[in-house]
Amino acid sequence: MTAFCRVLGIRGSLRAAYVANGLKTTARRYATASEPLKRTGLYDFHVANGAKMVPFAGYSMPLAYGDVGQVASHNHVRNSVGLFDVGHMVQSNFRGATATEFLEWLTPSSLSSLPAYSSTLSLLLNEKGGIIDDTIITKHAADAFYVVTNAGRRERDLAWIKEKLEEWNNSEAGKKGPVELEVLENWGLLALQGPKAASYLQSLTSFDLNQLLFGKAAFVPIEGFNLHVARGGYTGEDGFEISIPPSQTEEVARLLSKNPVQLTGLGARDSLRLEAGMCLYGNEIDENTGPVEAGLTWVIPKERREAGEFIGADAIRKQIKEGPSRRRIGLIVEGAPARQGAKIVGPGNEEIGVVTSGIPSPTLGKNIAMGYVKNGLHKKGTELQVDVRNRLRKAVVTPLPFVKANYYRG
């Protein structure tokens, strides 16, 4: 057995199943029995490459490929480069003379000061300050933005955005210049992730990728295609998210999946994002969770926290002033992995919180988890316990991310 197996005392196939089963729980939550599963433009490509397809966010998505296990796939991304199909995500363009002002009302981000072709993590908030969705906003110009939101929140997000867009365009502010929403239906979105992602992509383009720092975007010529490329990703590694017109998606996927690139599915995507300490909608964040307790206050610039006029602003300022009743934390769990829903126990065997995500970490060889606990019990080094299959296991509060990010900042 590998060192990782020895640490956990389990066989490789079983440890891979731990993560896969956790992903399937999430997949079942997003899948709807009454509606047929949608397919990205790469469905046939996945099947031809031996993908095991599972329901996720209303789509049939690859969990893993061929006989490459989840842990091996995970490690390949950490050490080399992997390619993910994230074409189920919702890609949209916002255009109009007051697009900046509209999006600064719709979200708590400061977009007027954001340089062109720069991206920011943002949030869609309800009036109570709860998180409708997390999103990436890329500014192309003062009147043009590219926005990516989660597939599992598609109907809720689009209904909310369209409602607020109509409200804005009928307001005095909107009459200065209406804003239009264009949903990029059926467009492809590929994430090339890992320490060798840049060198591989550089071999396909004359564009100097050293100019493209983390959080920046550009239209990049790639072997005859002119594609929107944003440097960032969900794994904690250096990488790129590449938006592709529907007619070109499969050809670009073939181009980007040659050696040493390995096709990578949802199983590895989930374990990579958890090691990177990133939230998964429906696990760590939802409409009853605010950015303060979720540890996402940093996405709201200071001036916006103090005086910004955005949806949910009053609730956010109240959360900041009064402090949250609970906090999102990282945990190292001894003995056995804790899964979503496991109870977190504090002093005196008091139930103080719940695990939202948990796996055996392939990179660290330890059981890691995220969850929420009562405010005050969230500090680094605090010893707690987690109820894993009716047995209390020692758990220590650990700073996030579990694995240091390797983003390219120049």
Residues at the annotated binding site? 241
Return binding residues for substrate. Answer: 241
90 φ, ψ (degrees, to nearest 5): -95, 120
Closest by CA position to 190, among listed 158, 162, 212, 222: 222
| Side-chain-side CA neighbours of residue 104 (13 Å) | 21
Give CA–CA dist 66/50, Å, rounded: 5
Give CA–CA dist 244/252, Å, rounded: 8
Q: Are 405 and 231 in contact (CB under 8 A)?
A: no
Give CA–CA dist 281/27, Å, rounded: 12
Helix (H, G, I), strand (E, B) or coil at 18: helix
3-state SS, 321-378, equals: HHCCCEEEEEEEECCCCCCCCCEEECHHHCEEEEEEEEEEECCCCEEEEEEEEECCCC
96 φ, ψ (degrees, to nearest 5): 145, 160
Give CA–CA dist 171/181, Å, rounded: 17
Give CA–CA dist 256/408, Å, rounded: 20
Give CA–CA dist 188/45, Å, rounded: 12
Give CA–CA dist 305/311, Å, rounded: 12
Q: Are 214 and 230 in contact (CB under 8 A)?
A: no
Helix (H, G, I), strand (E, B) or coil at 395: strand
Closest by CA position to 331, among listed 308, 361, 311, 309: 361
User: In Å, what is the CA distance from 190 to each residue of 5, 42, 83, 199, 265?
Assistant: 32, 10, 7, 17, 12
Q: Six-digit token pair at 378?
A: 């969230």
